[in-house]
Structure 1
Amino acid sequence: MGMGVASSSRRRGTKRTRRAAMAEINVTPLVDVMLVLLIIFMVTVTLPAVGVPVELPESRAAAVEEQPDQITISIDRAGVIYIENEAVAAGRLPEALEALDRGSQQPLIVLRGDRSLDYGRVMAVMGELGRSGFTSISLVTDGSVTPP
């Protein structure tokens, strides 16, 4: 009987000191990480594809989908030509176009010209593109709701 009393008191003592296992998961760090990732995603999706500041003309033309192998050429307000984000020195456009990696197929050229540019400047760049063998050229514009 003495053994039974001692063992029962020992069990009661362990029940009092033993804590129940926590079944809750702290989700606050998970929510914090997910919100940061969401903000990063939202910011990077809305960034322009090319960092050259160009004020595009307006047009009601249908939008062209981006292609992974496209090459973006921009002409800013001052008439400086950029291939992607790299400025091309004056008179060096033919050499810069020859140095482009064309791959197995002709890449799509996306031409972005500032609205304040002279039409002749844009046409000179397009002529040089054609002379270099680039035949697929898309002109980029801002969307417009009013007809010209």
Structure 2
Amino acid sequence: MSFGSPSQDDDMMSEINMTPLVDVMLVLLIIFIITVPVINHAVKIDLPRATSQPSDVKPAHVELAIDAAGAVTWNGTAVEQDVLKARIAEAAAQQPQPELHLRADRQTPYEKVAQVMAAAQSGGLGKIGFITDPNVGR
């Protein structure tokens, strides 16, 4: 049985041509051989280990209040300007450094608040938080 004979033009070819199928399979095999090492390439990174236990260490804070007359209280005790600077220097030397919670009365002049903030900054305190009461003045 020959496939190219002129006497069998009307007959259908009964065998499958395997050459294109083998060519496609060889091309796919070469592509997979080339890409598999690229896909498995990994970079080793040392990541920190995480724990599921919350840390109970809460940073210390200092309550600093200024009333309408400009009087300053440090954790509830009245202090003068020179004592305030000394206490700020003591607090700045602590590790970890405490946070300064500044509460000012509504009628306090801004100049007094700015003076206290400048004293805290020059003393070395880096964390200052402002405490407000939204219900006051309604």
Relative to the length of structure 1, the TM-score reads 0.47
Partner in structure 2 of residue 114 of structure 1: 105
Residue of structure 2 in register with 1:97 after alignment: 88
The number of residues matched between the two structures is 78
Where does residue 78 of structure 1 map in the other structure? 69
Whole-angstrom distance in 2 between the partners of 1:91 and 1:79? 15
- In the alignment, the residues of structure 2 paired with residue 68 and residue 132 of structure 1 have an alpha-carbon distance, to the nearest angstrom, of 19
Which residue number corresponds to residue 57 of structure 1? none
- Tell me, what secondary structure is at the counterpart of 2:87? helix
Aligned counterparts of 1:111 and 1:86: Cα–Cα separation in 2: 14
Structure index of larger Rg: 2
Contact map agreement 1:74 1:112 (CA 8 A) in 2: yes
Return 5+ residue gaps in structure 2 as ranges.
1-57
Percent identity over the alignment is: 28
In 2, Cα distance between equivalents of 1:128 and 1:101: 12
Q: Indicate the structure whose relative CO is greater, using CA pairs within 8 Å and at least 6 residues apart.
A: 1
TM-score normalised by L of structure 2? 0.50
Among 111, 119, 123, which residue is 1:128 paired with? 119
Q: 1:142 to 1:131 in 2, by over 3 A?
A: same
SS at match of 2:91: coil
Secondary structure of 2:69's counterpart equals coil
Query: How far apart are the structure 2 equivalents of 1:128 and 1:87?
Result: 16
Change (3 A) 1:106 1:68: closer
Gaps of 5+ in 1: 1-66
Shift of 1:98: 2.1
